[in-house]
Structure 1
């Protein structure tokens, strides 16, 4: 999914975000938005994700990450713009 309108963003979500179905919910949201990338639990208790796709869809999932699934309690979200890598699919790691 390369092209001039494709953006990539790395996201780190802080709070109660592990053990609350965050990664699977994130995968579903990403696939609905036709995004590529991945999401993973980190040893420090955060969730890290990489999203690639059209800017509007990437913006939308980053906004979703600010609350996540119903049982999550997000306290902070870090966003960093990255160079798209041309990933395919969306993986839960």
Structure 2
């Protein structure tokens, strides 16, 4: 399989983001970046203070979103990321067929 074909494959990433990420617009920011990248999924607050980002789409787009979540300075082309991130744990899961849109839950 060529690198180009692998980049086009649909993948799903589940990221748990730690830090000051609730009540600061982080889920909205994540949704906006995900839509710009052509991803579908959700961003939701967890009871322990983390935000869970469940996103799927082309591998390159998922990798780009994870890089934005992990960026040490929290800045992308659209401006400063809200809140502050102290860590991001990511796992790759099987894609879920039929997932559409990206919502804040």
1:25 aligns with 2:29: yes
Structure 1 71/39 Cα, relative in aligned 2: closer, same or farther at 3 Å? Answer: closer
The equivalent of 2:19 in structure 1 is: 15
Is 1:77 the equivalent of 2:88? yes
Note if 1:58 corresponds to 2:62: yes
* Structure 2 gap ranges (5+): 1-7, 75-79
2:104 equivalent to 1:92: yes
Change (3 A) 1:72 1:36: same
Q: Residue 22 of structure 1: CA displacement?
A: 0.3
CA distance in 2, matches of 1:59, 1:41: 21
Give the TM-score normalised by the residue count of structure 2: 0.80
Distance 1:92 1:71, change over 3 A: closer
RMSD, matched Cα: 1.4
Matches of 1:29 and 1:62, distance apart in 2: 11
Specify the SS of the correspondent of 1:58.
helix
Partner of 1:48: 52
